[in-house]
Amino acid sequence: MKFLYRSSLVLLLTGVLGHFTATAQTADDGRRAYQKQDYQTALRILRPLAEQGVAPAQSDLAEMYRNGQGVPLNYPEAVNWFRKAAEQGHAMAQYNLGGMYANGQGVPRNYAEAFNWFRKAAGQGLAQAQYNLGLRYANGQGVPQNYPEAVAWYRKAAERWFAQAQSNLGIMYSNGQGVPQNDAEAVEWYRNAAEQGFAQAHRLHARTADAVGEALARDLDFGEFGHAGNYRAPERSHPGDLE
């Protein structure tokens, strides 16, 4: 009797583990189809998983609704699926839900709510979210303006090689915002971003370097550039970003 009970338990556990493994593989298949722009296949795979509560599938389905890929463009439906995944702690969904609030897509524009979701994603180490959190602190959107906090979050994203954060960190050093003014640091961060092909950083670096022939330029005005808006990273683990 004990043998039969143990055998049944083993079979049950094997079936449960097999179910979760198959689910993960199927979600990956759906993502690959999405990235190959095979939207009908992606939709066929992702929708049932999303309805079962699989967070990565919910996030990818939301992307499809946000971008009108394989389904009619529908911002409220995108928000609905992003929220379901975000509430499960899915970092990319949290970031993209923040973007929906920041851009007023499918929900009324709400910078405080955008900041809240960016902060959740940034806390999980997502560079895009860390950069956007720095941007909110720098511009005082959804949170009181705080240059030292902006620097701290720009730096986190910059150290993950996020080009826009590197460029904006350079601007902070150029202007002495949140850090002591330091052109040497500014040039270094501009160079890092420029090496990734980020055009604004290339212009900033060239402008500084040309002024003194690769020495440090002093008292240059970078204000016309300000703090740049949202940037589409060249490499992403998931499709989609802010505008």
What's the rounded Cα separation, in Å, for the pair 193 and 162? Answer: 8
pLDDT digits (tens, 9 = 90+) for 165-223: 999 999 999 999 999 999 999 999 999 998 888 767 656 665 655 543 454 444 434 34
What is the pLDDT, as a whole number, of residue 198? 78
CA distances, 233 to each of 91, 102, 126, 243 (Å) = 16, 18, 12, 12
Mean pLDDT confidence for 147-163: 96
* CA pair distance 16, 197, nearest whole angstrom: 47
The CATH number assigned to the domain with range 130-230 reads 1.25.40.10
Tell me the CATH class for 23-124. Answer: mainly alpha
Q: What is the pLDDT of residues 13-56, one digit of tens each?
A: 444 444 444 444 578 899 999 999 999 999 999 999 999 999 99
pLDDT tens-digit series, residues 64-84: 999 999 999 999 999 999 999
Q: What is the number of other CB atoms lying within 10 angstroms of the CB of residue 135?
A: 26
CA distance 229 to 161: 17
For residue 95, what pLDDT band results from cuts at 50, 70 and 90? very high
Q: In the structure, what pLDDT confidence band is assigned to residue 149 with cuts at 50, 70 and 90? A: very high
Give the pTM: 0.74
Q: Looking at residue 26, what is its pLDDT?
A: 78
CATH 1.25.40.10 domain residues, the chain: 23-124, 130-230
For the four alpha carbons of 165, 237, 99 and 152, in that order, the dihedral sign comes to negative
